[in-house]
Structure formats: structure tokens, C-alpha cells
Structure 1
Amino acid sequence: MISVDEIMSSTVYTLTPGNCVLEARLLMNEKRIRHIPIIEDARLVGLVSQRDVLAASDSSLHELSERSRLQLEQEHKLREIMSTEVATIDYRDSLKSAALRMRKYRYGCLPVLQSGKLVGIVTDTDFVGIAVHLIEQLEEADSETWGDDFESDNNSLPGTEANIDSVV
């Protein structure tokens, strides 16, 4: 069994409920992340997604100047926009169980806990990385089986269209 701690990101960027929307937006842009766990007294108390930040930044702010928008983003606290019912996963849980939960409930991430303490985060991007790695392994195995000379008429995965170029 592959466990969550084998693929999770252990570097987790967090903020507190008292941080402002501007700080979250800047952190997301700088670190190229889409989810920020919200921590208070060393406990996970919420989660802010890129969607939450965009909604708070964009809602009725289109007509405002950049300066006015920045001021409002500074006044708007994360406690006002964070999700407080956060699904988490234990670091020892299987990767499969994490993937199934994320797919079933359409989660973009699962904060990873060890004894109630945040130790990592697993995201949909982590699973895309795994998928790419598996596809590369399949292609390599196929190449070793058939050799480089063999060209298949159907280079698609089972259940997919063979000629993707013709799909509009």
C-alpha cells in the first residue's frame, strides 16, 4: 500500500484567520498554490481556496480603482471567507483512499494530519503527477515489448478515441 505521506507536499504554506485576503492572494501568486490551510493555536481551523480569494476580490470590485481594491482586500479577513468544515486525511491512509475521496467529493486538496497536527497537503496536482509518471511507465513498457520499429494504429489508452486530432 502506498500511503499519503509518500506523495504529499510537506511544505505547507499557512495563514491565520486574522490574515487578509490580499495576503492570501499574494502568497498564492508567489508560491503558485491554490489552497491555504488556516491555522490557529497550532490547529487547522479552515481552508481558503483560490476560488474563495478570487470571489472575495472580484465581487462588486470591478468598478473600483486598483488602490481601492487593495484597501478592501486588506480589510477583508480570511475568517470571513474560509471554509471551516475541512475534510482531512491521516498521513498513514492509503493513496487510493485519498484519491477516491477527492474524486467522490470533488475536493481540490486534502490537508494531511498526524496526531491532529497539519503535516502536509495532497492536491489534485499531485495525482496528475502520478498519472503522468504511470503513463510514462506504460509507454516505456510498451516500447520495450514491441520495440521502437512497431507503430500501432491505435496509440490511445483503452476507452479513449483513437484519432483525437479529428475531434472538434
Structure 2
Amino acid sequence: ARSGKESILIWNGKAVSVKKLVINDLLPIAYAGLKNAGIQDKDINRYLEIIEKRTKGQTGAEWMTKNYRRLRKGMNQDDALISLTKSIHKNQHTSKPVHEWPPLEPKPRIHETAHLVSHIMSTQLFVVNEDDLAELATSIMLWKNVHHVPVENEKGQLTGLLTWTHMKRFKEKDAEDQDQTVAEIMTKKVLTVEPYTEIKDAIALMKKNEYGCLPVVQDQHLVGIITIKDLTGLNYG
């Protein structure tokens, strides 16, 4: 599962890679079996050739892995996954076998038709609990360079927000304050939006209140977050 066609198997008592096993043993066996079954050569060659080229070239798993890693060099995780899924759908409609699928290149933004918050929000979130130690939470923010951290209670409900400003203020305090919890230093006044909020409305809220982010909440539960960075390159004034 990890190594794909480069995996080593035991075949007739000998260690052999899946790639060599398919090319040197399994394809000839398949060809002979189909021939004996009365299948025409053109049909045999048509399908077995696809297996051969995929074995010598790229499999679907290899294409996805390589292109996801390439996209992540210039895009966040959500954008990379969306772009990858769009490309898979597009390639499937060309009827080209996967070994002929072209490589993908990262794009600054892929949301050319985005108009709802759900289209651009980040869903891979770093979240802390309101009872966590502020020392640990702010240290992780610093280590990971995370500027906005939603805070939840035991029920998974959004109760506050930690920002880079909170982190800096806390780090400047004396050691005697290091036993504080997240609830003691977070802001409890949090402006939120819903997944179906229009992007232009979310931008207006951020500008009006001079906020750098907006948590996205549905049924009192955090489902995502949008930041100034997510809005970069979108044409909403």
C-alpha cells in the first residue's frame, strides 16, 4: 500500500518487485489465458497495453501523490485538494488512461467562481480548548506561526479566539502569570459567519471591524475559518 508497484513480493520462491512481476510474468500469463479463451488479439492488446504502460509509467495513486505535493508548494491544503479533484474529474472526461495524465502546476487562487464563504474557508484548523494552559497554546502559535486560533469548550462550541496580539501580550508577562488558562487571555467577543455567507459580506465585516479573520460556524460548531490571506486575489473590492 505504501510502495505501490515498487513493493517487493515473493513469486515462485523469489523476491521480485510488483513492476517486474507484472511485466515479466503476469502480463504474459494474462495474454496466453485470453488467447486461449478466444479473445481477439486487438482486444487483448488494447487492454493489456494500458496495464503495461501504467506499470512502466505512472499509476493513478502516483499521479495524485506527486501532483498533490507539487500543488502544496504554492497552495494551502484545501486549495490543493480542490484543484486535484477538479483535475481528476477533467481528466476522466478526456477518456485518457491515467499514465497519460499531465502534471499540474500550483496557481495563486483557484476560486474563480467562488462567492460563498464555504468556497474559500480553510477547514484544516488548529483549535485549542478554553481550559488549556495559555503557555502551551501561545507557544504552539509561535512555533507554528499561527496567527488566529479558535477556542472551543468541552461541547465543541466556539467560545473565543486567540490572536497573535494575545500571544505577544502573554509572552511579555512575568513568569507568575504562566499558569493562566486560554479562557483568561482570549477574546470572548468573536464575530462569526456561516458557510453560506456571501464572500463580499464577509469582507465588508472584516473591513468594518478591522478583523484579520472570521471563524465560520454552523449550528454553534466551528467548521472553518477565513483570513485576510484567503481573500488575497479575489475580486470583491
TM over 0.5: yes
Instruction: Report how far residue 25 of structure 1 moved.
Output: 2.0
* Separation in 2, partners of 1:72, 1:18: 15
Instruction: Report how far residue 4 of structure 1 moved.
Output: 0.3
* Separation in 2, partners of 1:36, 1:89: 16
Q: Give yes or no for contact 2:141–2:167 (8 Å, CA) kept in 1.
A: no
Give the TM-score of the pair, scaled to structure 1: 0.66
| Gapped regions of structure 2 (runs ≥ 5) | 1-113
Which residue in the other structure is 2:161 paired with? 47
Which residue in the other structure is 2:74 paired with? none
* Change in CA separation of 1:29 and 1:56 when aligned onto 2, cut-off 3 Å: closer
1:47-126 aligned at under 5 Å gives the runs: 47-59=161-173, 61=174, 69=175, 72-73=177-178, 75-126=179-230
Structure 1 stretches of 4+ with a deviation exceeding 2 A read: 29-32
Cα offsets for 1:93-146 (capped at 9, x unmatched): 011001110011001110001222110000112122x25xx6xxxxxxxxxxxx
* Separation in 2, partners of 1:29, 1:53: 8
Percent identity among equivalent residues? Answer: 28
Which residue in the other structure is 1:37 paired with? 150
Q: How many residues align?
A: 121
| Gapped regions of structure 1 (runs ≥ 5) | 62-68, 135-168
- Indicate the RMSD between aligned Cα atoms, in angstroms: 1.7
Instruction: Report how far residue 31 of structure 1 moved.
Output: 3.1
Instruction: Report how far residue 26 of structure 1 moved.
Output: 2.6
* Separation in 1, partners of 2:170, 2:142: 16
* Separation in 2, partners of 1:80, 1:123: 24
Higher helix share: 2
SS at match of 1:5: helix
* Separation in 2, partners of 1:18, 1:76: 9
Q: Which moved more, 1:13-22 or 1:27-36?
A: 27-36
Matched residue type, 1:22: E
Q: Give yes or no for contact 1:112–1:118 (8 Å, CA) kept in 2.
A: yes
* Separation in 1, partners of 2:219, 2:183: 24
Which residue in the other structure is 2:109 paired with? none
